[in-house]
Amino acid sequence: MSNDTQVIIVGGGPVGVGLAVELGLRGVSCIVVERRTGMHNIPKGQNLTARTLEHFFNWGIIDEIRAARVMPAGYPESGLVAYGNLRGEYWYAPPMREILNPYYIQKNDRLPQYEMEKVLRAKAGTIPGVELRLGWAAESVADHGGGVTLTMTGESSGERIELTADYLVGCDGAHSTVRDRIGIRRSGDDYDQLMVLAVFRSKEFHDGLSRYPERSTYRVMKPELNGYWQFFGRIDVGEGFFFHAPVPADTTRENYDFLGLLHEAAGFEFDAEFDHLGFWDLRVLVAEEYRKGRIFIAGDAAHSHPPYGGFGLNNGLEDIRNLGWKLAARLEGWGGETLLESYGLERQPVFRDIGEKLIGGRIRDDAAFFDQFNPEKDRAAFEEAWEKESGRAGGFIRRYEPSYGGSPVVAAPDGAKSTAIGEHTFEARAGHHLAPRGLSTDANVYDELGAGFTLIALDASDDEIRAFTDAAGEMALPLSVVRDTAADERADYGQRFILVRPDHFIAWCGDEIPDDARALFRTVIGA
Ligand SMILES: Cc1cc2nc3c(=O)[nH]c(=O)nc-3n(C[C@H](O)[C@H](O)[C@H](O)COP(=O)(O)OP(=O)(O)OC[C@H]3O[C@@H](n4cnc5c(N)ncnc54)[C@H](O)[C@@H]3O)c2cc1C
């Protein structure tokens, strides 16, 4: 009996629908099972990296995403950090994510997650073989070796049905049913701190920010916060904001003065209308494994953490960009089992680093900073340290450069690791993201990358190129070739041959052709 589809995706949030688009565009059929019928209205996940915009470019929806932006064109996406409150004398507004834009083919952007999700859903609806089943809750999953079965219940009808597929991916958020059912444990740091998320409208608060240069976010820091943030983010330019901050453990919607908390963080009083109040516990939790047999997890189901630094959604989309082509390769028959295994081996260490070093490390560093430096105790020492601190923000953003050197499907130098910490450069390095560079035709190399692997061959002879294309042909590995001189911007790559994966990370690079191209290809497809 044939299956209902090739891949079942549980969860129709941005990660689940993003995976449906990635798979659908690769000709893989999938059914997305989503409990909700409508769209949520929480303006989370706004801070989108240049890399995330590359996914949208790749999926053919970049214009629609840019058009869905709520902030005026040109309004800065970056933020400001203030000491004490937003009326204090100490603040800095460092350059942020935009400093990395040269290393990506698209620039970063900012828009409410629900607006982005609408574009993704509309795209998914146009792809043959992609089906969205809204109003169904996944209840149990089973891997029976040759395939998977999902049991789901209609939210309004109560009807129970089963779906079958080759693979299943749980993109069902931090409280993932799929993760629980397959028994994947999570570990990390629980900060034992309750946080509030408030969505509010206030023209007066907007007006109160006029002392600052235009910014999208306003982060307040002070000693009593222990390294946590009081964080205001714009939804639009005029009156819409969200705010998150630590609150006492017993706080409820009814027993706390949230407007007073906004005033305290702002340092001035204003009227505000609340559209939403919610709570979450400040924790960094990463799944021990991202796969059990034919069942995978991705996005918040695999990693959850506070919205410090904009890692959640951006990494969730990177998860499925990594997994999508691997599932397609396996289903098409040219990818091996190690390719599927490599998904977790590449993505999990990256997120472990994010949780421990970038999010946890930053909370610890900030707590230590405000413990040591206090303008009320030693103004001169504080001012000197605050000045240095303002330079650290850009450094933090630059340090985040994920790579998969430790992957079994990357031919990297000995000792290379999969990690979130690195350095941005145009140089081609195995396991790292390919930086865009201009071709001699005036196009960019990104305009020429194929849907499968791409060999960038610079100053290469016909014989050298044939060594790769013959081997690829024998192994049914989809390979496009981008041929050019090694002059101009291409010289920055520092290598004559660059083998680029379908997710635009570099599988291998070198100045000479490999001794055995077949062996190289066997490695990169996990055969
Ligand atoms: C205030 C705030 C600000 C943030 N800012 C940023 C930011 O700037 N940048 C960034 O990258 N990230 C940010 N994030 C994080 C980001 O919002 C999440 O990482 C993102 O939503 C994760 O997407 P997801 O698809 O994995 O999970 P979700 O968005 O949680 O979607 C999961 C979906 O699965 C569905 N579901 C759950 N269980 C079932 C079931 N049993 N059956 C069927 N369906 C089910 C749910 O209804 C939901 O639609 C922020 C988060 C918050 C709260």
For residue 484, how far is its CA from the centre of ligand 1 (angstroms)?
42
All residues at 6 or more sequence positions from 16 whose CB lies less than 8 Å from its CB, including other chains: 9, 10, 32, 34, 169, 171, 172, 299
C-alpha 239 – ligand 1 centre gap (Å): 24
| 219-256 tens-digit pLDDT | 999 999 999 999 999 999 999 999 999 999 999 999 99
Question: Which amino acid makes up residue 184?
Answer: I
Neighbour-count burial for 475-499, b at 16+ CB within 10 Å, e otherwise? eebbbbbbebebeeebeebebbbbb
To 5 degrees, how large is the angle CA 348–CA 351–CA 354?
155
- From 31, 52, 304, 313, give the residue whose CB has the most ligand 1 atoms within 8 Å, as the site to mutate: 313
Ligand 1 atom nearest to CA at 152: 42
50 pLDDT above the threshold of 70: yes
Residue 349's SS3 state is helix
At residue 392, does pLDDT exceed 90?
A: no
Residue 393: pLDDT over 80: no
The minimum-distance atom of ligand 1 relative to the CA of 304 is 19
Ligand 1 mutation pick, 10, 44, 69, 175, max ligand atoms within 8 A of CB = 44
- Find residue 480's DSSP bridge partners: 454
Q: How confident is the model at residue 394 (pLDDT cuts 50, 70, 90)?
A: confident
pLDDT of residue 264: 98
Cα torsion 442, 443, 445, 446: sign? positive
Handedness of CA 263, 378, 228, 111 (dihedral sign): positive
Where along the chain do its domains lie? 7-71+107-186+284-354, 425-524
Residue linked to tokens 């028959």? 333
Question: Closest ligand 1 atom to the C-alpha of 33?
Answer: 43
Distance, in Å, from the CA atom of 288 to the CA atom of 221, rounded to the nearest integer, reads 32
Mean pLDDT of 170-186: 97
What's the one-letter identity of residue 196? V
Q: Who lines ligand 1 at CB under 6 A? A: 10-16, 33-36, 44-47, 113, 137-138, 171-173, 177, 197, 242, 244, 299-300, 307, 310-314, 316
Q: Tell me, in angstroms, the distance from the centre of ligand 1 to residue 422's CA.
A: 27
How far, in Å, CA of 6 to CA of 328, rounded? 10
**Residue whose CA lies nearest to ligand 1 atom number 53:** 44
For residue 337, how far is its CA from the centre of ligand 1 (angstroms)?
A: 29
Per-residue pLDDT at 190 exceeds 70: yes
Segment 120-125 shows an average pLDDT of 98
Measured by CA distance, the residue closest to atom 15 of ligand 1 is: 312
Among 61-65, 309-313, 387-391, 395-399, name the most confident range.
61-65
Q: Are strands 453-458 and 479-484 parallel, antiparallel or unpaired?
A: parallel
Distance from Cα 190 to the centre of ligand 1, integer Å: 19
Q: Given this model, what pLDDT does residue 248 score?
A: 96
**95 or 421: which leads in pLDDT:** 421
Which tens digits make up the pLDDT trace of 64-112?
A: 999 999 999 889 988 999 999 999 999 999 877 889 999 999 999 999 9
Neighbours of 279 (CB within 10 A): 13
397-421 per-residue burial string, b: 16 or more CB within 10 A, e: under 16:
bebbbbbbbbbbbbbbeeebebbbe
DSSP E strands in 144-272: the ranges are 148-154, 160-165, 167-170, 186-201, 217-221, 230-234, 240-247
The strand ranges marked E within 298-429 are 303-304, 400-404, 418-421
Which pTM was predicted? 0.96
**CA-proximal residue: ligand 1, atom 49 (nearest):** 13
The Cβ of residue 275 has, within 10 Å, a number of other Cβ atoms equal to: 16
Query: How confident is residue 334, by pLDDT bands cut at 50, 70 and 90?
Result: very high
* Distance from C-alpha of 435 to C-alpha of 442, rounded to nearest angstrom: 16
Diameter of the chain measured on Cα atoms: 76
- Quote the CA–CA distance of 261 and 357 in Å, as a whole number: 29
Question: In the prediction, which pLDDT does 94 show?
Answer: 81
Kindly report the CATH number that applies to the domain delimited by 425-524. 3.40.30.120
Question: How many A from CA of 301 to the centre of ligand 1?
Answer: 9
| Angle formed at CA 259 by CA 253 and CA 264, multiple of 5 degrees | 125
Indicate the burial class of 159 (C-beta count within 10 angstroms; 0-12, 13-18, 19 or more): exposed
Is the pLDDT at 447 greater than 90? The verdict is yes
pLDDT over 90 for what percent of the chain? 91
Q: For residues 336 and 525, what is the distance between their CA atoms, to the nearest angstrom?
A: 6
Residue closest to 241 by CA, chosen among 217, 265, 210: 217
| C-alpha 130 – ligand 1 centre gap (Å) | 21
* The ligand 1 atom nearest the CA atom of 15: 25
Q: If you measure from the C-alpha of residue 300 to the centroid of ligand 1, how many angstroms do you get, rounded to a whole number?
A: 6
What type of residue sits at position 209? L
Å from CA of 35 to ligand 1 middle: 13
Which residue's C-alpha comes closest to atom 38 of ligand 1? Answer: 172
Average pLDDT, the chain: 95
Of the candidates 367, 379, 88, the one whose C-alpha atom is nearest the C-alpha of residue 225 is 367
Residue with tokens 């574009």: 119
Instruction: List, as one string, the DSSP characters of 60-106.
Output: T-HHHHHHT--SPTT----EEEEESSTTSS-EE----GGGGGGGSSS
Helix, strand, coil fractions of the chain, as percent rounded to 5 = 35, 25, 40
CA of 56 to the centre of ligand 1 (A): 18
Looking from the CA of residue 313, the nearest atom of ligand 1 is: 11
Q: What is the pLDDT of residue 367?
A: 95
Residue 1 has what pLDDT? 63
CB 41 within 8 A of CB 275: yes
| Ligand 1 atom nearest 48 alpha carbon | 9
Q: To which CATH superfamily is domain 7-71+107-186+284-354 assigned?
A: FAD/NAD(P)-binding domain (3.50.50.60)
Q: How far is the CA of 13 from the centre of ligand 1 (A)?
A: 6
Q: Which of 172, 178, 308 to mutate to test the pocket of ligand 1 (most atoms within 8 A of CB)?
A: 172
What letter would DSSP give residue 282?
E
Ligand 1 geometric centre to CA of 418 (Å): 25
Side by side, which strands form the sheet with 506-510? 479-484, 453-458, 497-500, 506-510
Q: Which helix (H) or strand (E) holds 111?
A: none
Instruction: Specify the residue with its C-alpha closest to ligand 1, atom 6.
Output: 45
Residue 96: the pLDDT is 79
